[in-house]
Each structure stands twice: as structure tokens, then as C-alpha cells.
Amino acid sequence: MSELHQEPTAVQGEGRYVLGDPIADTRAPDSPIADRWSDRKFSARLVNPANRRKMSVIVVGTGLAGAAAAATLGEAGYHVKSFCYQDSPRRAHSIAAQGGINAAKNYRYDGDSIHRLFYDTVKGGDFRSRESNVHRLAEVSLNIIDQCVAQGVPFAREYSGLLDTRSFGGTQVSRTFYARGQTGQQLLLGAYQALERQVHAGTVEVHPRTEMLDLIVVDGKARGIVTRNLFTGELDTHLADVVILCSGGYGNVYYLSTNAKGSNVTAAWRAHKRGALFANPCYTQIHPTCIPVSGEYQSKLTLMSESLRNDGRVWVPKERGDDRDPNDIPEDERDYYLERQYPAFGNLVPRDIASRAAKNMCDAEHGVGPSGLGVYLDFKDAIERLGRPAVEAKYGNLFEMYERITGDDPYETPMRIYPAIHYTMGGLWVDYDLRSTIPGLFVGGEANFSDHGANRLGASALMQGLSDGYFVLPTTVADYLADAPFDEVPQDHPAVQEAVDAARGRIDKLLSANGHRTVDSFHRELGQLVWDQCGMARSKEGLEKALDRLPSLREEFWRDVKIVGTGDGFNQSLEKANRVADFMELAELMCIDALHREESCGGHFRVESQTEDGEAQRDDENFSYVAAWEYAGDNQRPVLHKEDLEFSYVHPTQRSYK
């Protein structure tokens, strides 16, 4: 049990959880916010280059955060082992990011600055993020662009040769650097090349098609991981001085999401069950610009980049149930509702606001398409104003992708879009150094909770991943390793064997069920339940309904799941079952977190807490804190630890984008 879990001080939420001791981030320097990262870098202890060769680091995940961290630590001289379940690090989900990466370069000279990016991010997250971490992110953004340009990332450029930028939601400046609609791919290739350079140098070992199944904790410290080779089924252990999780988010708990099908929560969840607190699990992001669901056969959703809202205009017919061809609907019969409701930001309001606005239009029977769950994203005005060649230069690959999926030509007919699960702001709790509550376990990128509050601004995910990987973790991990050498952990250590036995026992239990339902059928039912009750809108009644159903669904899963094949080789059914079992447990914590937070903030919208005009209504007096949850054991109530949020530089106000 974690040291944080002392005697409970109260029982809350009708017995669904226990209130534990408060938690605090004690590593951010007590200095002016603009100096904190510089002060922390200077105070961080160093490791002699000769000693680094004696130290080992495990990095789980090869997306932007993981690849950048492994490459940078390898270049520093540490011995690094890098793990991914894909067949190549290049296939990490970061490659799917489309629209761009933020940086406060102010190349457009339109009033941008580090402080403005900091302010926009805190406000965009509805004042539920930590000021220290967000300001560091804004600072480091300047270095990220320089790093990536030096690697050869082909950012778009203006005619003069200067890097081009565009706007994203929640801002009134143009700070998003991009490579057409392939920004994530190009950035990941840059990080991958840096990683492969270290592989060639002998400082990094890459283990593809290898999935982490458990965390090895020895004497209270993270010292390794248990893995399964997805080709052979072999379980193995890897030991090190420090473990870094950069394993992404948990959006696939909803089954339908814009995430890659393999994206999962297993690495983070198994670390949570070993003692790492899980923060703000109910903070999930709904992206407003997704191709609508087309049928029950669908297994994932496709994102259309937020960058499209630079030039595309969002509208619905003014008349309910109007099913005419969009080109036959005259201008005066169209409702450009974002421009009408939010004149200051128009189509570039933040994602949570744009998503709820689209849902409200569809709920009011103004939706379009066969299901009525869609709104139009129209480029007619942009094509007339800029010309088709200019629009093709900006968005050509996105338009082509849309046409291939839907069969509609967006140059001739408006796109149809609808909100979908895209990103998760919750994750393992970390302090300013990105240390979890387990010593020796660091967490980077989307796997931690630290930078985005209750809503992530567009183009900030790539920024956080590269910030953590290239600039933050190499400094803070070194500070931790300055306490080395640590005692060597033998392979036959009881903690190592216990972790292996736990992983093997879980696999054997899954294989022995021999039930009647497929893994996907359980996952689809779980996803629909969580989407309905803990998706775009949440209510006390709906969340309690979900919490009443989830334990029995989990029992049915373990009793009636059908997994073909064995555990001794390639078995995707077994892979998915392992991951869905963790999603079942995570979903319950998400709903408990959403139920206890009786306010609306960002992507967490409680229908009982809204303003007269339907906007999110925060309750700063009672809920201005990070909710960090402790695992108390199977079938035990989770323990809530609160980290109070302090705002000294950005005063919380009711968000307005009007």
C-alpha cells in the first residue's frame, strides 16, 4: 500500500471511494514562474559521463515522448532499452497526428509570447492544470521547433523561406507549425532517426513487438518490467535503474475513437495497481472534427485535422430535418452556429466547446447525414477566396483521405463531421520532475496528466511529447540517477518472480475461460456504456447506472470470454483480451471520478452544472484540485488524494470565447 494511504478521513460518493491524505508537487522551485525551469535545471544533480555507461534505463513506448527520451538519454551515454508493441517504432500512434505543433515563436508578429501560450493553455484547460508545468511547456516550445528543424523535419514554409504557421482552436494568434496534414508523421520520423542513430551507436536496444504486462517494484522502487513477446508468447523480465512510461492515452476504453486500434492503457494501469496514483481519469477529450460513424461494423473512427477549421466554416440547416443536398441550401437558410455563438473566435473555439455545440445542434434535430449525427464543414468560401490550388496546398492529403473514406469530394460537397473521443488529459500523476508516486518510475507524454487540465488545446499534444522527451526527462532522470549505484536486482528476486507469476496467471485465467463471447463484443459493449454515460455529457443518474453495470460486465468478461489459440505464440485475441480487461477496471475509476466531480470543466460536462446558456459551470470553491486516485486492492474502494491547484499568474474566470 502506498505511504499516502493512511487512515481514511471520510467516506464520500455514497461509499464509492475513500478520501485519503492530500498530495502536493514539491519539486517545482519556489521562484517566479518564468525562472522555475531554469532554476530546476541548475539545481538538478548531474551524473559523470563515465558513470552514465554503468546505468540503465527502460523506456516503454516509442511515440514522440518515448522515442525522444530514449534517443536523448542514449546520446547522453546511458544504456537504454526501448520497448514497443508495434513491429517498428515508426508505427507509434504519434504518426497519426495531422494538424501541427504549437510554439510561441511569434513569427507572424501577431502578439504571441511565452506568457500568452501559457495563458491560452491554462484557460483552454478550464483552469484545471498546474501553472508550473504549463509555463515550462510554453518555454520549451521554442526549443522544440529548432530541434526538429535541425533534424530535417519538413515544416511548411512561406515563399520567403520562413516557417509558416496557422491557427488552432482556443487562440487568436497563429502559432501552429505544420507539415501539411502529416505533422505527427514527420516529427516521429525525426525522433525515429535520432533513436536509430543511437541504436547504431550501441547505446539503445529496441525491442519491437514486445508488450509490457507489469511493473517490477523492488524495495519500493521501480526496477524493471515484465514483457510478452507478441510473436512467440514468451514472458521475459528486463531490469534497470529507472523506468520511463511513455505509453500514450486510454481513449480506446470507448472502443470507437480516433486512436490506433492497438492503443491501450495496460502499461499505465499495471503501474497504477503497483502504487502509482492515477490522476483525473474522467478528463477525456472529444474532438469536434471527426468523420461520423457510418455503421455498427465500424471498429475505429477517423480524424479530420482541427487545422481545417482555419478555412472551413461549420454550419447546419436552420430548418429541422432538412435533408436537401447541402449545395441546394441557400445562405440565408444556413446556421453558421459557431460564428453566431462565439463571434470573437468563431470556428476556432476550443475543442470541448465546438464538440458540445455540435451535439446540441444534432440533439435539436438540425444534424445532417443518414443518422442525423453530423454537421457540415464547408470550404466553398475558402476555395472562392483563395483558389483551389491554394486550398490543395494546405489540406490536399486531408481532402483525399476524406474522399477515400466517404466517397464524397470535399472540394464540391461540404464535409460531414461529428465529435469523437480523441485524447485523454488524465493519466498517471507526476510531479514537476515527471516522477510518479513510485520512486524510479517517470511518466511522459499522454501517459501522464500534467499539462492540459480538463481540455487540451489543439496542436499541444506533439508539443508536450517532444518537450517531455527531449528536454524535461533527460534532466530530471539524471537527478534521480545521481543517487546511484543502486543494488543489483537478480532475476530470481522474489519481487521479480511475483510479477512474472502474476502476468502468467492472468494469461492462464483468460485462456481457461473458454466462454461464448468474443473480446470485441465485450469491448464494444463497454465502449457504448462509457460513451453513453461518461462521454460528451455526464449526469449523476447516468454515472451511477454505469457504475451499477460495470462490475457485472467485468465478471461476465472473465467468465464468458472466448479466446481462441494458446499463449505460446502469436495470438491477437489474447492481446486484446489483456487490454480490454484493464479497460474494464479503468472505466469504473473514470466513472467514479466523473461522479465525484460535481462540476463541469472542459471536456468533463456534468449536465447538472451548466450556465444559463449551456456552457460548463466550474465550482472553484470545491473542485479546484487534481484528483489523484490510489489503487487499494481488488474489489476495494479507490482512495482519493487531492492536489490543490494554486493560480498566481492566471486568475480563474468563467471561460468566454465570445
Q: Which residues are catalytic?
A: 351
- Which backbone phi and psi does 539 adopt, to 5 degrees? -135, 160
Distance between CA atoms of residues 400 and 38, nearest Å? 45
**Residue 33 corresponds to which cell in the numbers above?**
514562474
Distance between CA atoms of residues 93 and 527, nearest Å? 20
Distance between CA atoms of residues 73 and 70, nearest Å? 5
Q: Answer whether 73's CB lies under 8 Å from 65's CB.
A: no
- Which backbone phi and psi does 87 adopt, to 5 degrees? -80, -10
Give the H/E segment covering residue 521: helix 519-534
**Cell 494511504 identifies what position?**
5
Amino acid (one-letter) located at 614: G
Name which of 437, 431, 446 is nearest 476 in CA terms.
Answer: 431
- Which backbone phi and psi does 392 adopt, to 5 degrees? -60, -40
Distance between CA atoms of residues 358 and 360, nearest Å? 5
Q: Answer whether 65's CB lies under 8 Å from 251's CB.
A: no
Where does residue 611 rank: exposed (0-12), middle (13-18), buried (19+ CB within 10 A)?
A: exposed
Q: Answer whether 227's CB lies under 8 Å from 213's CB.
A: yes
- Mode of pairing for the β-strands spanning 242-245 and 441-443: parallel
Distance between CA atoms of residues 544 and 232, nearest Å? 42
- Which backbone phi and psi does 499 adopt, to 5 degrees? -65, -40
- Helical residues (DSSP H) of 15-130, grouped into ranges: 36-43, 49-52, 64-76, 114-124
Name which of 211, 234, 229, 218 is nearest 274 in CA terms.
Answer: 218
- Mode of pairing for the β-strands spanning 415-424 and 221-229: unpaired
Q: What is the DSSP string of 137-204?
A: HHHHHHHHHHHHHHHT----B-TTSPBPEE--TT-SS--EE-STT-HHHHHHHHHHHHHHHHHHHTSE
First and final CA of the chain: distance in angstroms? Answer: 48
Distance between CA atoms of residues 374 and 635, nearest Å? 40
Question: How many CA atoms, within 13 angstroms, populate the side-chain half-sphere of residue 399?
Answer: 21
Distance between CA atoms of residues 519 and 516, nearest Å? 10
Angle between the N-to-C axes of helices 572-596 and 266-273, in degrees from 0 to 180, rounded to the nearest 10: 60
Name which of 20, 22, 17 is nearest 636 in CA terms.
Answer: 17
